[in-house]
Structure 1
Amino acid sequence: MAENVTIARPYAEAAFKLAEGAGALGPWSEALDRMAFAASDERMKTCINDPKLGADKLAELFIGIVGGSFDDAQKNFVHVLIENERLQVLPEIRDLFVVRKNEHEGVLDAEIVSAFPLDDAALKTLTEQLEARFKAKLSVSVSVDPELIGGVTITIGDDVIDASVRGKLANMAAALKN
């Protein structure tokens, strides 16, 4: 995995520079999402690894399967990936591109783990409070972990906010032992 990230980094940076220069970070992000999804499919992996399939045919097949509208720069990017045998690292390219895009736009990733599913209103309120606290726009992902018993844990960068019942019980247990 670490090797794939190392291989993907210059391609992600090149895609970011192309997208930024064209003022098209959003469309590039969407296109890379579709490309990464297609490149992860087992049938596409078979095609990618088929030595009988030429670069032009593979590019035509790949772009056709990915769908959506591709501009010339995106088509050229696909051709470069194929020529350098790098289609298989598209998921890592997409991930690195999103990190770079979020840094550029001042967006932080927030992971919220809740003991119970959060309704839309609660999630919106929590997100607004966190954005005010961190003074940044957040890209929020939510998951449910019943082992928390109640409450939430929030991870934003290196900051962890543990407002769960499990966390409070662990703190009490540690205090009682001391």
Structure 2
Amino acid sequence: MAQETSLVSGIAGRYATALFDLAREAGQLDAVARDLDMLAARLADSADLVRLVRSPVFGRDEQARAIAAVAEKAGCTDLVRRFLGVAAANRRLFVLADMIAAFRALLSHHRGEAVAEVVSAVPLDDAQLAQLKSALSSEAAGNVVIKASVDPDLIGGLVVKLGSRMIDASIRSKLNNLKTAMKGVA
């Protein structure tokens, strides 16, 4: 566990580690991961939910009731509901997104996976994702899970982050580099 806790830190890391340990002991890692992925998606889609978990205006009881209702409606496992209740009671919901990210990091490490964050200008199709996964798996010497997102501002190309390495092959970066070089010539 000492190695796992070095992956995450701070308040979010402590809460994520506790949830991870409980989920592992209960044999519910996959179910908890699904619930947290669903909560992350809801946070990404709902400004009201973000305001609820981040705003100090809402009291702990209000936050606890509201997050319990969200978890109930989403069909979250009892373990996740209790976890959210503890986080609300301790006024720690403001780092919920960080807790989810830390849990994902712990789960990936536990499974022996490397997570590659890939940002592209347009959505990648299945064949492109498979080809990218194959290339990254040989580089990482293990199983790679791709977390893909889209940023049209890249214009074209990819930005890939695997561990501490980042490869920026986007047209936006190339244009910025060219612009910087052109300023030096003038």
Could you state the TM-score of these two structures normalised by the residue count of structure 1? 0.69
Cα deviation for residue 10 of structure 1 reads 1.2
Distance 1:81 1:106, change over 3 A: same
For the pair 1:59 / 2:64, whether they are aligned, the reply is: yes
CA offset digits 1:108-129 (Å, max 9, x no partner): 1213345665432122122123
1:162-173 equivalent positions in 2, closer than 5 A:
166=174
Cα deviation for residue 24 of structure 1 reads 1.6
Identity %: 28
Which consecutive residues of structure 2, in runs of 5 or more, have no partner in the other structure? Answer: 1-8, 182-186
What is the one-letter code of the residue matched to 1:27? A
CA offset digits 1:19-57 (Å, max 9, x no partner): 111222221122223344556744343587434xx73x6
1:118-157 equivalent positions in 2, closer than 5 A:
118-140=124-146, 141-143=148-150, 152-157=158-163
In structure 1, distance between residues paired with 2:107 and 2:65: 28
1:100-115 equivalent positions in 2, closer than 5 A:
100-114=106-120
For the pair 1:50 / 2:50, whether they are aligned, the reply is: no
Could you state the TM-score of these two structures normalised by the residue count of structure 2? 0.66
What is the one-letter code of the residue matched to 2:24? E
Query: Please, which moves more after superposition, 64-73 or 38-47?
Result: 38-47
Which consecutive residues of structure 1, in runs of 5 or more, have no partner in the other structure? Answer: 174-178
In structure 2, distance between residues paired with 1:146 and 1:101: 31
Distance 1:116 1:28, change over 3 A: closer
Report what 1:76 is aligned to.
82
In structure 1, distance between residues paired with 2:142 and 2:155: 27
Structure index of larger Rg: 1
Aligned partners of 1:35 and 1:90 also within 8 Å: no
Distance 1:126 1:78, change over 3 A: closer
Query: Please, which moves more after superposition, 119-128 or 10-19?
Result: 119-128
For the pair 1:34 / 2:42, whether they are aligned, the reply is: no
Cα deviation for residue 153 of structure 1 reads 4.7
Report what 1:18 is aligned to.
22
Distance 1:59 1:122, change over 3 A: same
The CA RMSD measured in Å over matched residues stands at 3.5
In structure 2, distance between residues paired with 1:25 and 1:43: 28
Distance 1:163 1:58, change over 3 A: closer
CA offset digits 1:131-152 (Å, max 9, x no partner): 1332222221254567676x54
What is the one-letter code of the residue matched to 2:125? D
Aligned partners of 2:159 and 2:168 also within 8 Å: yes
Secondary structure at the counterpart of residue 160 of structure 2: strand
Report what 1:176 is aligned to.
none
In structure 1, distance between residues paired with 2:161 and 2:22: 31
